[in-house]
Chain A
Amino acid sequence: MTRQEILIELKKVLSPYTLDKEALATIDENTDLIKDLKINSANLVDIIIDAETKYNIEIDYDAADKMVNVGGCIDVIEEKTNQQT
């Protein structure tokens, strides 16, 4: 998967956790999940769990700490999915 492909799929993972659908539609690697998408910080855990299920990966605590913006999420998902192949 390319980073762009991951980003498109990531939008679906993030969608239930933000009311700002306009901001979601225009996300890029610099988009901050809490500041820009106004996602409740507690929901970052749910996003990690949803990503684990969607990509069939395991995201450890250290990796999860990087998932604060879209680019960080893509880094982690890219790295973990590559490890599996």
Chain B
Amino acid sequence: MSRRVVVTGMGVVSPNGIGISTFLDAIQNGVSGIKFQPLYEELKFSCHVAGKPDFVLEDLKTKNYISEVVFHGLKGTNIGYGLMAALDAWADAGLEYDTDETRWETGCIFGNSVSDTEAMKNVITRVDNKEAKKLGSRVVEQAMNSGVTSYVSGRLGLGNKVITNSAACATGTQAILMGYETIKDGYAKRMLVGSSEYVDTYVFGSFDSMRVLSRKYNDQPEKASRPMSITAGGFVPGSGSAALVLEDLEFALARGAKIYAEVLGGSTNSGGQRMGGSMTAANPQGVIKCIEDSIANSKISANDIDLISGHLTATNADMQEIQNWCKALGRGGDDFPLMNSLKSMIGHCLSAAGSIEAVASILQMEHGFVHPNINLDDPNPEIGNYINLNRLPVSIVKKDINIVAKANFGFGDVNSCLIFSKFNPNDTTRDFN
């Protein structure tokens, strides 16, 4: 039997706000979280700006996220971001942290790119200095890629599937999709899903070397992230985490949970690095198929989509992405949905992008608005060949949004797309079985 899956809790650690209410206020007002990073300049990166949450690791201890014993020896910021977002989502869903029993009905799917290369640096340095004996017991859990899911499941006693996924920029949306499928297919009643990414110099140094990072706005950090702009000059590093609590609808209703939205479906695939796809570029056919499959298995029509939360990183790929959306939806010109890119405000949070953008998507439905694309004062005029430029709002639009498509496309030619809708208990337009 197939089930309906709803979102009952959210948590976010974003460069422009930690916590749902601060983040909501930021995206409504077009607040940039991009700041000058002295360390990037010192390291002679071409890009000197990035989005980094205003995050204090000690809060994990002082605000009851974890015990002081678990906190002692915790160095990994990536784990810190993930823990905070996940536990905030859990609390937002009205659930208690502490339990003596294992919660067999609840699992966790959380993704990241790499565990935490600064934590790894400590390992490498000590081993090379012949000091392996001094590493201690806390290194492996922080260096392993499943560090976040282990800390989260251990804190909350989660006993269903606990999976760490990794699919580059598609990681966050893919984690949510996998959690949705787990509940829909009856394997779990509740899934805590999301992703995290720490903006560390070893990861972004590599992107800097590829010359794909923004470098022309180092003296104006808030202007640096310019998706779809003619003056876009590469993406801005971002970081953070977001998490969602997904639940079986009947299970959520039975406990009187607040329902933010419904996950109607989605798809994740790969273009196979063929037909124009490569390690770094998407195969357009793969992207189009991913979007089409998402629409089909969500049992909606392409015309039902009110808003696209695009991948749109501020590279040359933005133009291609818009063309792909037009083909996949069979819509263009004035008929194209409204579209925005959260990356204009927070940069590209890599693995965390999909989950943070998903939270933004759901907040826009809940509060009836479309957040602005900031820095889009000079849109690439070629976009006008495909869609009316007024489809890309530059200031907040107050509007009822019923269905959002949230997609991310990542290195390795991997794609992921989700369809969220407002929750309507009396929805009879779709056959949910």
Contact = CB atoms under 8 A, between A and B. Distances in A.
A17 B69 contact: yes
B73 A46 contact: yes
Interface stretch (B89-97, B111-119, B130-138, B334-342): B130-138
A46 B136 CA distance: 5
With most chain A CB atoms within 10 A of its CB, the pick from B68, B69, B73, B138 is B69
* B contact patch SS: loop
A42 B133 CA distance: 14
A45 B134 CA distance: 9
A69 interface: no
Interface in B57-89: 67-69, 72-73
A49 B72 contact: no
Interface string B35-76: 000000000000000000000000000000001110011000
B136 A19 contact: no
Contacts of B73: 16, 46
A49 B69 contact: no
A31 interface: no
A49 B68 contact: no
A46 B147 CA distance: 19
Chain A interface helix/strand/loop/mixed? helix
Interface string B121-160: 0000000000001101110000000000000000000000
Interface string A1-42: 000000000000000111100000000000000000000101
Contacts of B134: 49
Interface residues of B, number: 10
A18 B70 CA distance: 10
Contacts of A49: 133-134, 136
A36 to B, nearest CB: 15
Contacts of B68: 16, 19
A17 B134 CA distance: 17
A53 B134 CA distance: 9
Contacts of A18: 69
B97 to A, nearest CB: 15
Interface in B343-364: none
A53 to B, nearest CB: 8
A78 B228 CA distance: 69
Contacts of A19: 67-69
Contacts of B72: 16-17
Nearest to A38: B69
B137 A16 contact: no
A51 to B, nearest CB: 12
A46 B73 CA distance: 9
A33 B133 CA distance: 21
20 contacts: A16-B68, A16-B69, A16-B73, A17-B69, A17-B72, A18-B69, A19-B67, A19-B69, A40-B69, A43-B69, A43-B137, A45-B136, A45-B137, A46-B73, A46-B136, A46-B137, A46-B138, A49-B133, A49-B134, A49-B136
Given A16-B68, A16-B72, A19-B69, 4 more contacts: A16-B69, A18-B69, A43-B137, A46-B138
Q: Which 5 A-B pairs have the closest CB atoms?
A: A16-B72, A42-B137, A45-B137, A46-B136, A46-B137
